[in-house]
A = this chain, B = another copy of it.
């Protein structure tokens, strides 16, 4: 799982700390103090993953992420953003911009490592006809059946699609707007809070087999299906 990671962080202390941890974990680390410097590095080396501080002097992290997403060569490089605590508006904005995950400072090396591992492991899973299974909860798109530890579970059409999407994209936070796009369809006129209601209905349906705790609420960001415990 050794990867080349680009770290963009202006605070020297944090940069050193993170670099040390990542190097210990066997990754090759490239450091940049600013967005501009990151762009220069990226011209020569294509990283496997980008750790990006959202607050940077000069060009902000958001703008840099936008540039990355617009570039064909960098489009598919996962981005994890580093945010200050409670910076909730930025969380949503970041996810919308195309960040794959976020992590709030201060964070433990353990947490950072886990996130990186998760993001790297998840390439671009599609919603296929394949059966999906997460911690005893299984969903079969072909027969349209959902079972928790073998027990059949009843859920409505929307809840089914929602669960299918989340199970094929685990360990990733999706904002309400993103879920509306992916599950309801693009350009639909629906209140964002409607997602909450369907998440609740989904949890209610999964409660039968205690699988409702698979769905995490990520305050300020959205929802996530966690395959871990």
A89 is an interface residue with CB less than 8 A from chain B: no
Encode A202-229 as 1/0 by CB contact (under 8 A) with B. 0000000000000000111100100000
Nearest Cβ on chain B to A154's Cβ, whole angstroms: 10
**CA distance in complex: A63, B145 (Å):** 36
A156 is an interface residue with CB less than 8 A from chain B: yes
Encode A133-167 as 1/0 by CB contact (under 8 A) with B. 00000000011110000000000110000000000
A172 with B143: CB separation less than 8 A: yes
Cross-chain contact of A143 among B144, B156, B157, B224 (Cβ < 8 A): B224
| Tally of this chain's copies | 2
B143 with A171: CB separation less than 8 A: yes
A binding-site residues for B, Cβ under 8 Å: 142-145, 156-157, 171-173, 218-221, 224
Other A-B pairs, 15, CB within 8 Å; known A142-B171, A144-B221? A142-B172, A142-B173, A143-B171, A143-B172, A143-B173, A143-B224, A144-B173, A144-B218, A144-B224, A145-B171, A156-B219, A156-B220, A157-B219, A157-B220, A157-B221
